[in-house]
């Protein structure tokens, strides 16, 4: 058999696949695992979306190839939602393209822009896809560490001049996975000015823009002139419990939208148009109310978990956004710490190193388990954590 392409040697094993294997091994020993490791909502998709899908799926017009750029109805719904939610005007034909989930579109945007040797700036810790797709395309990753002292908001002035001058893309992700950090509009104004100055495409991954506790998160496209230098990924996966539906959109800079369309036209055939019609349903009516209800669920889970861990002696911070909790681990070795909790307590977390070396020494909880399971997990951890915490 021929050998796989050497480009695969450039990327590490996908973290979440490794975590799944470890969890299965523990479960095979007879222990039920309570998993906080994957950001996959545990609650069902909104009834209105499911009902629309049941109505649309039998219709023969959906059984053919959809438009490569997404159906007109879905793109118009995204445009209308951006106007309603962010007061941002988007031409649905030039500034919106449907995605088979934002992971797919992020990957294809990298391939649309990155030639071998090109530089991409990736803040870290970060969703691994930004760096891994850059490496697969033959590009070079410049890592911009995110510091806890800055609230995990990127320090763009720390990027060397020569790196900024040769970079093609700058990835940003606020609200931030894995730390739960928020960035305000003033930061996005700085980022837009930075990318304009250095002729960089600003890529904003806004998968968690709806998931906040208190203040609303902004869109980068609210910055005047941002649509000249920036694109944003909007995903229906996390806010509307639709991870399995695989539906999202990239919006913003028209030339970048056209470039993504060109790659997608030669790579995939679009998302099932009945799914796009179902997604259109939630964006057109009921989105804001559904988001508010889900955020209250996650707020309650956050408060229960944070107070419980603090009661056990682990002084974890309270996240302002997303459904993640990011905390420095006792002893500093996140791989050993997470492995021990999995084996001894049957509680699965994500080690910070899975989000890059800047994540070393941290662990991430995903609040995608019920309050009852959180309480059970805290009971299990009570038998393990105290021995792992530094003595007062």
User: What local confidence, expressed as pLDDT, does residue 27 receive?
Assistant: 86
CA atoms within 13 A on the CB side of 89: 2
The pLDDT-based confidence of 15 (bands split at 50, 70, 90) is low
Q: In terms of domains, do 273 and 372 share one?
A: no
Q: In terms of domains, do 12 and 103 share one?
A: no
Q: In terms of domains, do 124 and 259 share one?
A: yes
Q: In terms of domains, do 254 and 324 share one?
A: no
Task: Convert the pLDDT of each residue in 232-264 to its tens digit.
Answer: 999 999 999 999 999 999 999 999 999 999 999
Last residue of a domain, one of 269, 284, 299: 284
Token pair 């030039």: residue: 94
Task: Convert the pLDDT of each residue in 256-305 to its tens digit.
Answer: 999 999 999 999 999 999 999 999 999 998 899 999 999 999 999 999 99
Instruction: Tell me if 131 is assigned to some domain.
Output: yes
Asked whether the predicted pLDDT for residue 392 surpasses 60, the reply is no
User: What local confidence, expressed as pLDDT, does residue 90 receive?
Assistant: 98
Task: Convert the pLDDT of each residue in 140-196 to its tens digit.
Answer: 999 999 999 999 999 999 999 999 999 999 999 999 999 999 999 999 999 999 999
Last residue of a domain, one of 238, 268, 284: 284
Q: In terms of domains, do 23 and 53 share one?
A: no
Last residue of a domain, one of 246, 261, 284: 284
Q: In terms of domains, do 274 and 131 share one?
A: yes
Asked whether the predicted pLDDT for residue 19 surpasses 80, the reply is no
The CATH code of the domain that includes 255 is 3.40.640.10
Q: In terms of domains, do 57 and 135 share one?
A: yes
Q: In terms of domains, do 186 and 203 share one?
A: yes
pTM: 0.96
The CATH code of the domain that includes 31 is 3.90.1150.10
User: What local confidence, expressed as pLDDT, does residue 390 receive?
Assistant: 80
User: What local confidence, expressed as pLDDT, does residue 18 receive?
Assistant: 73
Cβ neighbours for 33, distance < 8 A, ≥ 6 positions apart: 23, 26, 27, 342, 346, 347, 348
The pLDDT-based confidence of 227 (bands split at 50, 70, 90) is very high
Question: Residue 78, SS3?
Answer: helix
User: What local confidence, expressed as pLDDT, does residue 371 receive?
Assistant: 98
Task: Convert the pLDDT of each residue in 51-106 to its tens digit.
Answer: 999 999 999 999 999 999 999 999 999 999 999 999 999 999 999 999 999 999 99
Asked whether the predicted pLDDT for residue 337 surpasses 90, the reply is yes
**Percent of the chain clearing pLDDT 90 (strictly above):** 91
378, 380, 382, 386 alpha-carbon torsion, rounded to 10°: -120
Domains: count for the chain: 2
Question: Residue 154, SS3?
Answer: coil
Q: In terms of domains, do 280 and 292 share one?
A: no
Q: Is 152 exposed, middle or buried (0-12, 13-18, 19+ CB in 10 A)?
A: buried
Instruction: Tell me if 1 is assigned to some domain.
Output: no
Q: In terms of domains, do 167 and 204 share one?
A: yes
Asked whether the predicted pLDDT for residue 325 surpasses 80, the reply is yes
Interval 2-11 mean pLDDT = 91
- Structural domain of 334: 6-44+288-388
Q: In terms of domains, do 325 and 343 share one?
A: yes
Asked whether the predicted pLDDT for residue 375 surpasses 60, the reply is yes
Cis link prior to 42 (omega < 30° from 0)?
Answer: no
* Residue 26: C-alpha distances to residues 32, 35, 340, 343 (Å): 8, 12, 11, 7
User: What local confidence, expressed as pLDDT, does residue 214 receive?
Assistant: 87
Q: In terms of domains, do 249 and 170 share one?
A: yes
334 conformational bin, left if phi > 0, alpha if psi -120 to 50, beta if neither: alpha
User: What local confidence, expressed as pLDDT, does residue 374 receive?
Assistant: 98
Instruction: Tell me if 247 is assigned to some domain.
Output: yes
> How many Å apart are CA 114 and CA 168, to the nearest integer?
7
Instruction: Tell me if 307 is assigned to some domain.
Output: yes
Asked if residue 315 lies in contact with residue 366, where contact means CB atoms within 8 angstroms, the answer is no
């Amino acid at each position: 058999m021929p050998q796989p392409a050497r480009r695969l040697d450039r990327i590490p094993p996908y973290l979440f696949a490794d975590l799944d294997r470890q969890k299965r091994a523990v479960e095979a020993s007879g222990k039920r695992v309570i998993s906080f490791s994957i950001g996959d909502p545990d609650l069902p998709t909104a009834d209105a979306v499911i009902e629309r899908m049941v109505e649309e799926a039998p219709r023969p017009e959906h059984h053919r190839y959809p438009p490569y750029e997404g159906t007109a109805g879905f793109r118009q719904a995204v445009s209308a939602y951006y106007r309603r939610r962010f007061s941002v005007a988007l031409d649905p034909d030039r500034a919106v393209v449907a995605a088979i989930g934002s992971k797919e579109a992020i990957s294809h945007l990298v391939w649309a822009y990155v030639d071998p040797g090109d530089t991409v700036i990736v803040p870290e810790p970060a969703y691994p896809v930004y760096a891994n797709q850059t490496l697969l395309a033959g590009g070079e990753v410049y890592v911009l560490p995110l510091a806890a002292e800055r609230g995990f908001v990127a320090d763009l002035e720390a990027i060397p001049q020569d790196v900024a001058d040769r970079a093609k893309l700058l990835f940003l992700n606020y609200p931030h996975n894995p730390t739960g950090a928020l960035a305000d509009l003033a930061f996005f104004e700085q980022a837009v000015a930075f990318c304009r100055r250095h002729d960089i495409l600003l890529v904003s991954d806004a998968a968690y823009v709806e998931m906040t506790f208190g203040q609303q998160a902004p869109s980068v496209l609210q910055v005047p002139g941002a649509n000249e230098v920036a694109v944003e990924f909007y995903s229906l996966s996390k806010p509307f419990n639709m991870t399995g539906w695989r539906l999202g959109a990239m919006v913003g800079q028209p030339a970048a939208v056209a470039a993504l369309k060109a790659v997608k036209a030669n790579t995939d055939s679009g998302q099932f148009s009945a799914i796009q019609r179902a997604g259109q349903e939630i964006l057109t009516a009921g989105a804001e109310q559904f988001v508010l209800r889900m955020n209250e669920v996650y707020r309650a889970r956050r408060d229960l978990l944070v107070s419980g861990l603090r009661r056990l002696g682990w002084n974890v911070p309270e996240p302002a956004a997303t459904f993640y909790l990011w905390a420095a681990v006792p002893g500093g070795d996140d791989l050993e710490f997470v492995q021990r909790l999995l084996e001894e307590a049957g509680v699965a977390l994500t080690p910070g190193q899975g989000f890059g070396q800047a994540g070393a020494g941290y662990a991430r909880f995903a609040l995608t388990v019920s309050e009852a399971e959180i309480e059970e997990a805290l009971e299990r951890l009570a038998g393990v954590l105290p021995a792992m915490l530094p003595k007062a």
